[in-house]
Amino acid sequence: MEMNSNQILDLHGFNNLTKSLSFNMYDICYTSSQEERDAYIEYIDDVYNADRLTEILSNVADIIGANILNVAKQDYVPQGASVTILVSEGPVNDPTKDVFEESPGPIPGSVVAQMDKSHITVHTYPESHPDEGISTFRADIDVSTCGEISPLKALNYMIQSFETDVMTIDYRVRGFTRDVTGHKLFIDHEINSIQNYIPEDIQEMYHMIDVNVYQENIFHTKCKLKEFDLEHYLFFSDTREKLTPEEELVIAEKLITEMDEIFYGKNIR
């Protein structure tokens, strides 16, 4: 069934399609000593603590036009944090506007969607290994919605809320709804690629790979930064002054390998 922006669906009942977006981001850093590793973890736990994550998820709820029903949040010891927000359908302005358009979503400030009986969650995973000198921070955000529009409209904001070296993004639609004739709808909007919901300036910064299963309404996109600047990955700004050119090459190789292994999902060393 081909959809377009002028078409209004006449449904039997309400739209009960479930649309789920999983956004996984990775931040990579070189930490040469236990002191640096501890400082990096402390920095991550401070910048992405439960209160800050709650703020990010609350803005996601605003973008997709949801009322927040309940917030559960937790900072873990020794590291990491989790937030879960239950949401319900919020005020809707022009619910059919932009429903069928593949385009990057807005920053907080405008209501563009509705959803009902839904949730938004985030979990963080800082980790490091003393032998490699690499520390990695991962954040997983899941947005599950029921309603006319997909949570992809919040993807632009989520990308810009984190410092991201590698991203893995999954989107899937499950269940079905019916039109007034009884005809089942297993998806209610056109989608070609998750990339169409990522702004062009961000797309230009990343290598991107799609793995989509269109007949199953499953969409998967992986992203890895194109440019590499060693300075960006050294936790202490004066670290580079202490390195020899040979040491810089070894560290750069370790960092690039780390990002490649995460991007391709396999060990390549």
How far apart (Å, rounded) are the C-alpha atoms in residues 23 and 91? Answer: 25
Q: Is 123 a catalytic residue?
A: yes
Q: Which of 146, 150, 161, 223 is catalytic?
A: 146
Q: Label residues 78-107 b or e (16+ Cβ within 10 Å = b).
A: ebbbbbbbbbebbebeebeebbbebebbbe
Q: Is the dihedral of CA 54, 56, 60, 65 positive or negative?
A: positive
CA atoms within 13 A on the CB side of 120: 30
How far apart (Å, rounded) are the C-alpha atoms in residues 26 and 7? Answer: 39
Q: Is 237 a catalytic residue?
A: no
- The DSSP bridge partners found for residue 234 are 30
Task: Measure the CA angle with vertex 194, ends 18 and 160; round to 5°.
Answer: 100
Q: Which of 123, 189, 220, 232 is catalytic?
A: 123
Q: Is 110 a catalytic residue?
A: no
How far apart (Å, rounded) are the C-alpha atoms in residues 188 and 262? Answer: 33
Cα separations in angstroms, 41 against 110, 157, 230: 35, 24, 20
Q: Which of 118, 144, 150, 161 is catalytic?
A: 118
Task: Just list the catalytic residues.
Answer: 118, 123, 146
